[in-house]
Structure 1
Amino acid sequence: MTPVSSHSPHGQSSLRTVQVLGGGNAGSSAHVRSLASGLVARGVRVTVCAPVEADRVYDFTGAGADHVHVPRSSDPASVAALRAACADADLVHAHGLHASFRAVLALSGRRTPLVVTWHDRAQAEGARAHLVRLLERRVVKAASVVLGTSSALVDRARRTGARDARLAAVALPAPRRTVERDDPDRLRPKVRAELGATGRPLLIAVGSLERHRGYDVLLDASRAWRRLDPVPLVVIAGEGELRAGLQRRIEDEGLPVRLIGSRDDVSELLAAADLALLPSSWESRSVLAQEALHTRVPLVATDVGGMPELVGDAAELVPYGDPEALADAVVRLLGDPERREFLKERGVRQAATWPTEDETVAQVLSVYDELTQPQPMI
């Protein structure tokens, strides 16, 4: 375990960090909760600056951290609130592009070390893509260290101008256990019945209904599955701007797909599934992919971003934007129980190579100590 430095730039007896979170996707929010808990256990004082909704869901205060409500906005009032929260911090750690940009604004004129974690690549098109590149450049040049959750993100940070970019693959936090979750044989039939998947294969996809998720490709692929007997049911858990258009296509084309909106029981949905699907145009360290492998659910995903590095040979990888390749991979797996069993076993072994929550906290803390230890006089 990495020791906490007893020194700090402000002469405090213990390190004080501020974790900055924006709207926060599931992966980064769960990571900040896990990180806060691990840091507090090591004697670090932690303040989490995030929207109040995020604290309700992830309970940062329950992890022993202080919580300061900072809206997901870069307006002057939000930046001022963040600046006040960071006033006596030894180090600030921001998660995601927008949170990092607000942290840069809040720390302007101060010498407080800034650590930035990129959990994923910001998705944008057209003029907004240009703005995202400008924000990335501003953030990485101001950051003392940029941590990327995949090699692809580390390379991107270096190309953008980061002076110090490192790989820091974050752990998937352990789910909170329940009696039913500990008894999947009891829960599985119940979930499948509720979804309408009794007596037919259940395919699960999870994620916001946005263009980069590739759900248009998934719907294209689902046409081919109507020829199977029984016809698989595709269930997509998530909400977003494309919902109306996707629902219209499902109804007009008679596709075997259900949109069930945002859910807080994704682990249970996944445990009930025969296959997990991830058709995105980009992924770094996908929470769904990690949960699928941990849960022994065969995964079909696109060969993009950090996916090959994350899953190795423990999943079926297909090219992005190719509905025929996606459809064929699913048909092959549904008809090959031996291959499904192989992927389940490989998934468990692959998951065992990922860092634990304790190892993740120790690595981050070593970066903090490096940046806050007093420099020797020369």
Structure 2
Amino acid sequence: MRVLHVVDSLEFGGLERVVTDLAIEQKRIGHEVAVFSLQATTGLVGELEAAGIPVLIGHKQGSADLKLLRLLRRTVIERRIELVHSHNFVPNYHAAVATWGLLWRKPTLVSTTHDMGTRLSNARLRRLYRWSLRHTAGVAMVGRQVHDRFVGEGYVPASRAVTVLNGIPVERFGWSPERRERARATMGVAADELLIGAVGRLVELKNHRLLIDQMPALLECEPRARLVLIGSGPLHDELQARIDALGLGDKVRLLGQRRDVADLTVGFDVFALPSRTEGLSIALLEAAANRLAIVATAVGGNPEIVRDGETGLLVPADDGSSLMEAMLRLLDDPSLRVRLAASASAWVREHASVATLARAYDAFYRQRMG
């Protein structure tokens, strides 16, 4: 099958990571795959190209870029694309416009909704997305909560909606004493320190400030605790200023964007995800695959990965005291950390591998091409 994935960009992020891994797996099993990025981007482009997957860049200028739409349409025609797979709202609108009216070799358009749709509070985007869905053969949701929201609110008819859990290349992940020791040495973490870590863009919805704000009280109870945040974003300076204002010094560090995230997180004692909203978090899947004890907020798709008391601990969103208590509970109980981490690792390997993801999308494609 000739497949074209359409994304906003290929900068480092959960959506971009899952599209990259899916495209590479699809090529491995025999599909002809290309990726079209609306915006100028670097990020994961090199990884795709190294796997032999062409990446086309639209260099998007403004909200109505006719040059981009012509390039996307020409790409579909010249590559004889059979199926266009868009990822989230703006790419789906562009893909629908670019393929609208094609009479010869018209491809099937499908889409994946990767989050709970907070951007759809914008009325114009909401209208454009609803229009594009009229030209979309099927929509995959990355979790049950996402599915229930978009079907329940009338965006997507139930007959065209399916749930396809995100997947990761689980073979890249795994805990060992040697990997843990190397990771902690790289991050400058002492053997007796207890490390809490988070991975994600430094943006409001990820709510890293809540995590930072719990550290003074947490350190009073457990002086060996340390916190690292991996990721970049517009809140970097604000979060660093908060760390300085609380006098946390080197007990809380921002590590920035890293290419070796999987190698670093294996050095965590606790993985924390304090987000206000999530689809089905790739960072959370990777933490589970790296055999980490997890505390996460009970939002979006998080409860589909973290079953409270079984594969991790869940806390309410924006509840600092519950977050601190859960982190302290894990830091104080090594046997609990081991038990939860082992269960999380087993779950992700059974339910959320990239091979499972590719098989699910194959079935979805064939059903929608009908």
TM-score by length of 2: 0.87
Aligned residue for 1:348, secondary structure, equals helix
- TM-aligned CA deviation for residue 124 of structure 1: 4.2
- CA offsets 1:103-131 (integer angstroms, 9 cap, x no match): 12212223532100112234449xx6434
What amino acid is the match of 1:36?
A: A
- TM-aligned CA deviation for residue 154 of structure 1: 1.4
1:4 is aligned to none
C-alpha contact 1:93 1:116 (8 A) present in aligned 2: yes
1:27 is aligned to 14
Aligned residue for 1:48, secondary structure, equals strand
C-alpha contact 1:311 1:350 (8 A) present in aligned 2: no
1:338 matched to 2:335: yes
Aligned pair in 2 of structure 1 residues 315, 67: CA closer, same or farther (>3 Å)?
A: same
Q: Which of residues 223, 239, 252 is equivalent to 1:246? A: 239
CA distance in 2, matches of 1:218, 1:132: 32
1:92 is aligned to 84
Aligned pair in 2 of structure 1 residues 71, 230: CA closer, same or farther (>3 Å)?
A: same
1:104 is aligned to 96
CA distance in 2, matches of 1:132, 1:216: 29
Matched ranges for 1:280-359 at <5 A: 280-312=275-307, 313-359=310-356
Aligned pair in 2 of structure 1 residues 237, 355: CA closer, same or farther (>3 Å)?
A: closer
C-alpha contact 1:143 1:162 (8 A) present in aligned 2: no
2:2 is aligned to 16
Q: Which of residues 175, 183, 193 is equivalent to 1:191? A: 183
Which residues of structure 1 form unaligned runs of 5+? Answer: 1-14, 374-378
Worse overlay, 201-210 or 217-226: 217-226
CA distance in 2, matches of 1:173, 1:96: 22
Two-structure CA RMSD over aligned residues (Å): 2.3
Aligned pair in 2 of structure 1 residues 175, 29: CA closer, same or farther (>3 Å)?
A: farther
Matched ranges for 1:30-109 at <5 A: 30-50=17-37, 51=40, 53-57=42-46, 59-71=47-59, 74=63, 75-87=65-77, 88-109=80-101
1:361 is aligned to 358
1:12 is aligned to none
- TM-aligned CA deviation for residue 289 of structure 1: 1.2
- TM-aligned CA deviation for residue 191 of structure 1: 3.1
Worse overlay, 68-77 or 16-25: 68-77
| Number of residue-to-residue matches in the alignment | 352
- CA offsets 1:145-186 (integer angstroms, 9 cap, x no match): 000010111122222421311101121124658xxxx88433
CA distance in 1, matches of 2:346, 2:262: 19
- CA offsets 1:276-334 (integer angstroms, 9 cap, x no match): 00000011211121112111110010011111112223111000001111011111111
Question: Identity percentage over the alignment?
Answer: 28
Aligned pair in 2 of structure 1 residues 249, 223: CA closer, same or farther (>3 Å)?
A: same
2:367 is aligned to 370
- CA offsets 1:323-358 (integer angstroms, 9 cap, x no match): 111011111111112211221222123223314322
What amino acid is the match of 1:40?
A: K
Aligned residue for 2:258, secondary structure, equals coil
1:168 is aligned to 164
Matched ranges for 1:150-229 at <5 A: 150-158=143-151, 159-163=153-157, 164-174=160-170, 176=172, 184-198=176-190, 199-229=192-222
